[in-house]
Chains A and B, each alone.
Chain A
């Protein structure tokens, strides 16, 4: 580049670097005036434009540049960013491929082409590029790129089953063609082992592993060791593994739990490896093995003492497995071991979780265990306090249903409160960043009251739980566990605002939103005041979704780093180069899996659906909303979802004969894949009918790449057929009210569908319309057509030849649904159901009303009714609308009245009286409970009134 030109171009880069995109465009224009054919400047301008959201202009420029088949590094880099911004990843691949073809000796272009393919997961092409590079440049690194690409292709969901072994065998052949053996570095060795494992060539793998270098690698590389264990297990070499583990445990003092498991597996191998009943001889032999293993574990336990708990835990596991294989000798063995463990580690917090799998005692054993525990209660020091906490938790775990009467549970709750308040003295001097040692007693109180609520159905117990936990939370501000319980209880009590407060105080961020946002966003539409313009939950959804956007590109970039030896843009310390010089193939698989789990996260798309539900309630139902959401929902419809939600983090100290705290406090069954599928179908159907967009139009107008089609035979059916197909797993996931709703939507779209199809303008008219407009943007592909759909649908297309479909009466199911919901509502109001149940009914009815509005908006204009002679249809719509409106208005009135009642002094008094049990026994003063009462009742009032007003507004907007 000449210096003169360099001087002109530098300011463009500077502007781009500082995100001054407008001045970058100006600078580009200046250069382009003199050199209208400068490709680099065009590319840079396209970049600035795409950043300014001027998609249309950027598209034109980008196409111009691509047509020139650029090979210059600067142009390619700029274009890569442009095309990424436009979502045209496949064009990036094509661009680099073209460039590399022109300069096959350019290693850098080859690498870029390979990376571009990796980025879009195009393993087949990546493999071909790498093979070509290996031939050209004779570097084994490229050989392994090609090998690993073949492995990844074999792992890809889209690859047909029959092709997989072929690819793996190809990879194996390639390995043997290399100049250096695979144990040249651990990651190449790992790839080799992986292929052998997938091909079930365990003996070959074992030969490699038993080789001196193989053993050495496994000693230092955790990933190779992990796959080694796996292969040995598959090969059935458990006993050999057990022997090695024994040596490691005794001589090297290795306390890796996996070693203990290896030894355990080996001990029971002769019984566990066959399905046939074991002979007496085998039993005797195994019993002998058990004795030997017991000695090893005991020795480890003795040596370690208090330093490590593995030995004692392994002994427990040994006894448990002995029992499960019917080799029971001494009935009290497990209990003795548990007592032994408790004596050593009873004052550690992990004790409860460690012991849990071993404590299913019955009869006499249970009695002895209980009396053992009872003798261990004491509250003198912080250590004995922790031990007592374990005692109480362990006792609670083994309570039988006979012991779970309301009276006994109440007595327990009061005892927990007492010891909790006593225990607070140990934390008086702690800074407020520390957890209170007695916290878990408060958590137990919460459990006991929730159990009481389940036993009696009395809401007052939940109020007591809330009051105690609030008290504890104020004393231990950092205890997220207390907050988790409160979030659940406040939802049940109809005070979602308070739950949201606690959630925010937990400071959930980044990847945690994927695993934890379910706490507040599961069926959030039910709490949302979106019709009133309160978008708290909507923005919470948007915020939580952010991580997925930024992540996909991040993971891609990292994948590239992993493949690379020296990245051009990272060249600092000698060390970094060295770290890259080892190709980290083992990480690549993990990263791809991670990306898949995050991209296809169930919670992610559940949030999307919640957002749509709220948006429909919040915004006018125009073409912009309908078309955009239709496209987005169709994008996620084919995904195979992973559930990353974390329910385990919610503490559970309920007795083993009861459901967990999590299960007890869910207002409804948590939405799963079936729920998501049902709601996606509901909304896609409704949007499809309301939209003018049919598939041919959509295809032509959409910019950017489509999701990869999946291989599931189910997905091969036409979309229309799939949308009306009900699946059992969907039904299983829905609540009773949602089931009614689901049926209702099916009936509705079946009824209205034919009229939509008839009235919808033909694709040719739409495309002509779109071509006229130059306002296309991704995400708003059909903004220009809002007008066409909204008012004058007769625009631009002639009357059809066929007769309009005969107008049918509305299916009975539709009015019946609203009647059913009304009677559900009345029944719940007069009963003792919780606020959450009431709100669920209201929200479902409102949603049905909104979908009705969505499905009928097309037929509103008088011109349409006249043109197609839909007078009768319009009358049916009107009748239904009037009916539904009156039911919703009625619900609104009742809710508003309930809201008034709840937040009066009387309402608060009722709350305080309800939680009198916690005041009798303890130092909780009346004012504190009154404070919680006020907060809770106010929040409930706010919810009731908000939703009542929202209902009225929805009715008004769509009448």
Chain B
């Protein structure tokens, strides 16, 4: 945490309270992973958790981020596949999901490339970035999902998810 400034000063990466990170590290250490460059700089990290009941039991990507200078090296892809593997094998989840700002088009297309699709749109999930434009897209989030091996019939996803809108109160 003392070394993640090069990553977290980036606008798309939220910096949470200390206890937030410690909680994840204590509960789901196997869903948290940092990638370091040979010179010791942090390149990126992923933080995830497992949650839900019954059919809804799934892995959740809380944060996935790569420092600007280490982008375009497929680091995110590698970390996502690690998280999917752990969610699948250790936690036996049905799917993996994540939230992303509707304006973060680079991330959305990457997730789509990894097999994720939009499940629903969550209204006012994020705080404003304070850029004062297109604020609706900015604060809304897409909930994106990818089924795992326990969901061979792809029950956890749907094709037209972008049109399903829910408010932030309805999701945890």
B18 contacts A511, CB within 8 Å?
A: yes
Q: Mark B65-84, 1 if CB is under 8 A from A, else 0.
A: 00011111110000000000
Please judge, given known A-B contacts A511-B2, A579-B27, whether A348 and B72 are in contact too, CB under 8 Å. Answer: yes
CB contact between B26 and one of A348, A357, A551, A587 (< 8 Å): that residue: A587
A591 contacts B22, CB within 8 Å?
A: yes
Interface segment, A512-520, A840-848, A943-951? A512-520
List, in ascending order, chain B residues with CB within 8 A of A511's CB: 1-2, 15, 18
B16 contacts A516, CB within 8 Å?
A: no
Within 8 A of A (CB), among B50-72: 50-53, 57, 68-72
Q: Does B155 contact A (CB under 8 A)?
A: no
B16 contacts A510, CB within 8 Å?
A: yes
List, in ascending order, chain B residues with CB within 8 A of A579's CB: 27-28
CB contact between A354 and one of B38, B51, B53, B91 (< 8 Å): that residue: B38
Within 8 A of A (CB), among B105-120: none
Please judge, given known A-B contacts A257-B38, A350-B70, whether A515 and B26 are in contact too, CB under 8 Å. Answer: no
Least CB distance from A12 to B in Å reads 28
List, in ascending order, chain B residues with CB within 8 A of A196's CB: none
A547 contacts B72, CB within 8 Å?
A: no
Query: Please, how many angstroms separate the alpha-carbon atoms of A594 and B21 in the complex?
Result: 12
CB contact between A431 and one of B17, B43, B103 (< 8 Å): that residue: B103
A515 contacts B5, CB within 8 Å?
A: yes
B69 contacts A512, CB within 8 Å?
A: no
Please judge, given known A-B contacts A435-B68, A558-B19, A649-B9, whether A356 and B39 are in contact too, CB under 8 Å. Answer: yes
List, in ascending order, chain B residues with CB within 8 A of A317's CB: 38
Query: Please, how many angstroms separate the alpha-carbon atoms of A644 and B1 in the complex?
Result: 10
Please judge, given known A-B contacts A512-B5, A515-B2, whether A350 and B37 are in contact too, CB under 8 Å. Answer: yes
A554 contacts B37, CB within 8 Å?
A: no
Please judge, given known A-B contacts A515-B5, A594-B1, A648-B41, whether A349 and B74 are in contact too, CB under 8 Å. Answer: no
Least CB distance from B9 to A in Å reads 4
List, in ascending order, chain A residues with CB within 8 A of B23's CB: 558
Query: Please, how many angstroms separate the alpha-carbon atoms of A561 and B51 in the complex?
Result: 18
B131 contacts A433, CB within 8 Å?
A: yes
A-B contact count, CB below 8 Å? 116
A649 contacts B5, CB within 8 Å?
A: yes
Least CB distance from A713 to B in Å reads 30
Least CB distance from B48 to A in Å reads 13
CB contact between B71 and one of A307, A349, A516, A557 (< 8 Å): that residue: A349
List, in ascending order, chain A residues with CB within 8 A of B91's CB: 575
Q: Mark A508-540, 1 if CB is under 8 A from B, else 0.
A: 111110111000000000000000000000000
Residue from B26, B91, B104, B131 having most chain A Cβ neighbours under 10 A: B26
List, in ascending order, chain A residues with CB within 8 A of B22's CB: 554-555, 558, 591, 594
Please judge, given known A-B contacts A348-B72, A354-B38, A587-B29, whether A573 and B53 are in contact too, CB under 8 Å. Answer: yes
Query: Please, how many angstroms separate the alpha-carbon atoms of A431 and B105 in the complex?
Result: 10
Q: Does A432 contact B (CB under 8 A)?
A: yes
Least CB distance from B135 to A in Å reads 13
Least CB distance from A417 to B in Å reads 22
List, in ascending order, chain A residues with CB within 8 A of B72's CB: 348-349
CB contact between A558 and one of B16, B26, B36, B43 (< 8 Å): that residue: B26
Query: Please, how many angstroms separate the alpha-carbon atoms of A649 and B69 in the complex?
Result: 12
Least CB distance from A653 to B in Å reads 12
A313 contacts B9, CB within 8 Å?
A: no
- Classify the secondary structure of A's interface with B: helix
Range, interface on chain B: 35 or more
Query: Please, how many angstroms separate the alpha-carbon atoms of A573 and B91 in the complex?
Result: 13
List, in ascending order, chain A residues with CB within 8 A of B17's CB: 510, 550, 554
Q: Does A834 contact B (CB under 8 A)?
A: no
Least CB distance from A438 to B in Å reads 14
A514 contacts B2, CB within 8 Å?
A: yes
A551 contacts B10, CB within 8 Å?
A: no
Q: Does A81 contact B (CB under 8 A)?
A: no
B2 contacts A646, CB within 8 Å?
A: yes
Query: Please, how many angstroms separate the alpha-carbon atoms of A545 and B28 in the complex?
Result: 29
A561 contacts B18, CB within 8 Å?
A: no
A432 contacts B15, CB within 8 Å?
A: no
Least CB distance from B92 to A in Å reads 10
Least CB distance from A518 to B in Å reads 12
B6 contacts A649, CB within 8 Å?
A: yes
Within 8 A of B (CB), among A474-526: 478, 480, 506-512, 514-516
List, in ascending order, chain B residues with CB within 8 A of A350's CB: 37, 43, 69-70, 73
CB contact between A353 and one of B18, B26, B41 (< 8 Å): that residue: B41
A348 contacts B5, CB within 8 Å?
A: no
Chain A, Cβ-Cβ closest to B57: A575
B9 contacts A480, CB within 8 Å?
A: yes
Q: Does A584 contact B (CB under 8 A)?
A: yes
Q: Does B11 contact A (CB under 8 A)?
A: yes
Within 8 A of A (CB), among B83-111: 91, 103-104
CB contact between B8 and one of A354, A357, A512 (< 8 Å): that residue: A512
Q: Does B129 contact A (CB under 8 A)?
A: yes
Which residues of B are in contact with A by a Cβ distance under 8 Å?
A: 1-3, 5-6, 8-12, 15-19, 22-23, 25-29, 36-39, 41, 43, 50-53, 57, 68-74, 91, 103-104, 129, 131
20 sampled A-B residue pairs with Cβ under 8 A: A350-B43, A350-B69, A431-B103, A433-B12, A433-B129, A478-B10, A480-B10, A507-B15, A509-B15, A510-B18, A511-B2, A512-B5, A554-B18, A558-B19, A573-B53, A575-B50, A575-B91, A584-B26, A591-B22, A648-B41
Extra contacts, 6 of them, besides A350-B73, A591-B22, A649-B5 (Cβ < 8 A), are A313-B38, A348-B72, A353-B39, A551-B19, A554-B18, A648-B6
Which A-B residue pairs are the 3 nearest by beta carbons? A480-B9, A554-B19, A349-B69
